[in-house]
Every structure is written in structure tokens, then in C-alpha cells.
């Protein structure tokens, strides 16, 4: 399969670069002091020109990746450190997004996905990876993850399908992990997924052993994400009203709605979030969403995502 000369994507964007520590899936929640400090914080924010670039994950990204994943299993105690280590160790398939280093913008580097980002992990804005549930089955973090997913699934038939993916079919199941901070430019989202699925395709040919090549031949993808579900039915609204407060479901990450549409099955479960919802989100409850998507649906997903972002 022909390889392009680069896998790096860059976007110059006027962003509100305030160093937010909330992921997109947490952006609807507020800290206790948020209301009191809002006026003071707004005075400190400034709009800057930000260049984002894709990089291979590396050990120094540990704290930034851990911050993005801190609520991945809600408040459950689990081996988060081990999970982060797995993601960072798998450089063949996986990407972290940081602010581009001006020193790397010189001749011969533009457009390349770089193995050394030149930035510390404080500049990490997003990550995407795919972990084979069979390959890493004996790791404590994957055992914790499986235990958690089975515990939160209440429907008997769905749990049977979930257990099948987690156990006998695990060697062909990829856990798709994508987390981003709220100031991540949505224009980069399709490129982030393109990078992931292109790398998966390349890994089936380029990995040094047949076992490793086969570990990226996925038949199913499993996703664990967040959504907002309206607590009570929306009041009657004007025909042309598009207020978010009237939507029965809100997806903090726009691509998750597409995944849900294309999923073979899915289920939701309540999140034990300790954060207080923002005033405009008071009529919604935070829910976990687990989805199973067949690999054959990914080309359609990529087209739908590109079309959605282009609107």
C-alpha cells in the first residue's frame, strides 16, 4: 500500500488558549468556583494564533495523557497508570496532538508526523489510539476495564454480546480511545481519525511479525464515551428553535453520534459524576455510552464525519 510522505496534520487556528484541563466529555460540568471566578478568568484569557500538530506518543506525554483519561472509567479505582503506559508504548498506531514547535517548522519537517514532539506534556490537547483487547488481555488495566463494562451493562442480551467481544472474540476487537480538551479545533477531528485508521491499515503490513500484523486486523471496535440525556421531556418549542436545551441527547464529541448511528448495538448507563452541571445543562444527566461498531462500517463513518465537519 503506498505511503504518503507525511502523516502530520497541522492547523493554524485563533484559539482561546487558556490551558483548560477539561476534556470535551467533561466540558458541560463546572467546578465549584467556576461561577465566582468567571469574571476574573475571562479577563485573563487571550486569543492567540495556535498551530497544532500530530505526534507519536512518547513517555514524556504520560501526565498529559493521564489527565485526559482521568475520568475514563468514571470514579472507579483501576489501573489507569498501566492503561496510559499501554497507549504510550504503542507508537505504531496512536497519535497525540500538541502545539507545533516553531523549531520543527524548518525545511524538511513540514507535514510529517514526528516521533519527538519537542513539547512537554502540558501542551497535549488530544489523543487517539486503538488497543487490541486480546493482545493486552492479561494486563491489569484491561481486566479492570472488562470488569467495569460488564458491571454497568444491565440488559441481559446486550451483556451477552458484550461478553463475547471481551472474551472469545477479543483478539479481533479494538478498543478505540479518543479524548480531547475543550479547546481542541473540531476541524482536526476527521484528520485525527484518518491518521488512526490509516496507521491500522499500514500496521497489518508493516509490523515485524505475523502475530503483530494480525493483531491489527480488527473486525469490531468498542467505544466507551459520554453523552448527555435529557431528564424530562422537552417543553413545546417553536418549529425553528434549535436550542440545545431542547435536544433529547447531546454528544460532547460530535463523532460519537455517527458511531452510535452505525453501531451494531449500544447501551447507556448513569455516571457518578461529582461535578456540578452548568446552569444551562441542569435539565440533563451525564450518561456513559458503550458502542460496538463493525470494522466494515468505518469507511462510511469517515465520509459522514468529513461531511459533518465541512458543513
User: How far is Cα 173 from Cα 222, in angstroms, rounded to an integer?
Assistant: 7
Q: At what angle do helices 140-152 and 80-89 cross, to 10 degrees?
A: 120
| Tens of pLDDT, residues 171-214 | 999 999 999 988 888 999 999 999 999 999 999 999 999 999 99
- Residue 109: Cβ within 10 Å count: 15
Instruction: Report domain extents, the chain.
Output: 127-233+245-309
Residue found by looking up cell 468556583 in the block: 33
Q: What's residue 13's pLDDT?
A: 53
Q: Which residues of the chain have pLDDT under 50?
A: 1-9, 12, 14-20, 28-43, 102-103, 105-112, 119, 236-242
pLDDT at 275: 58
Supply the pLDDT for residue 194.
97
The pLDDT value recorded for residue 113 is 61
Report the pLDDT value the prediction gives residue 50, as an integer from 0 to 100.
72
The C-alpha cell at 40 is: 476574573
The predicted pLDDT at position 189 comes to 96
Predicted local confidence at residue 197, as pLDDT: 98
Q: In a 10 Å sphere around its CB, with 0-12 CB exposed, 13-18 middle and 19+ buried, how is residue 158 labelled?
A: middle
pLDDT of residue 18: 42
Which pLDDT tens digit goes with each residue over 36-84? 444 444 445 555 567 889 999 999 999 999 999 999 999 899 999 999 9
Instruction: Note the pLDDT of residue 28.
Output: 46
Q: What is the structure's pLDDT at 4? A: 42
Q: What is the pLDDT of residue 114?
A: 57
Amino acid at each position: 500500500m503506498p505511503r504518503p510522505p507525511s502523516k502530520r496534520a497541522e492547523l493554524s487556528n485563533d484559539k482561546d488558549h487558556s490551558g483548560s484541563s477539561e476534556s470535551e466529555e467533561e466540558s458541560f460540568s463546572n467546578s465549584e468556583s467556576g461561577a465566582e471566578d468567571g469574571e476574573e478568568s475571562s479577563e485573563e484569557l487571550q486569543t492567540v494564533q495556535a498551530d497544532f500538530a500530530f505526534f507519536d506518543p512518547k513517555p514524556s506525554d504520560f501526565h498529559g495523557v493521564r489527565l485526559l483519561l482521568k475520568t475514563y472509567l468514571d470514579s472507579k479505582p483501576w489501573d489507569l497508570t498501566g492503561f496510559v503506559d499501554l497507549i504510550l508504548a504503542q507508537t505504531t498506531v496512536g497519535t497525540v496532538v500538541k502545539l507545533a514547535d516553531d523549531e520543527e517548522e524548518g525545511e524538511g519537517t513540514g507535514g510529517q508526523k514526528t516521533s519527538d514532539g519537542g513539547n512537554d506534556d502540558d501542551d497535549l490537547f488530544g489523543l487517539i489510539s486503538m488497543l487490541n483487547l486480546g493482545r493486552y488481555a492479561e494486563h491489569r488495566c484491561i481486566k479492570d476495564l472488562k470488569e467495569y463494562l460488564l458491571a454497568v451493562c444491565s440488559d441481559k442480551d446486550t451483556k451477552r454480546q458484550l461478553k463475547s467481544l471481551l472474551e472469545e472474540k477479543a483478539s479481533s476487537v479494538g478498543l478505540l480511545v479518543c479524548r480531547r480538551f475543550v479547546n481542541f479545533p473540531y476541524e482536526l477531528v476527521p484528520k485525527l481519525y484518518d491518521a488512526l485508521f490509516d496507521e491500522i491499515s499500514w500496521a497489518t503490513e508493516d509490523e515485524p511479525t505475523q502475530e503483530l500484523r494480525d493483531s491489527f486486523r480488527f473486525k469490531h471496535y468498542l467505544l466507551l464515551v459520554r453523552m448527555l440525556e435529557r431528564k424530562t421531556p422537552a417543553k413545546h418549542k417553536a418549529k425553528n428553535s434549535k436550542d440545545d436545551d431542547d435536544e433529547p441527547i447531546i454528544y460532547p464529541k460530535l463523532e460519537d453520534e455517527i458511531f452510535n448511528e452505525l453501531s451494531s448495538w449500544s447501551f447507556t448507563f448513569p455516571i457518578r459524576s461529582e461535578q456540578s452541571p452548568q446552569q444551562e445543562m441542569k435539565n440533563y444527566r451525564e450518561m456513559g455510552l458503550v458502542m460496538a461498531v463493525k470494522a466494515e462500517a468505518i469507511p462510511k463513518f469517515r465520509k459522514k464525519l468529513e461531511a459533518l465537519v465541512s458543513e
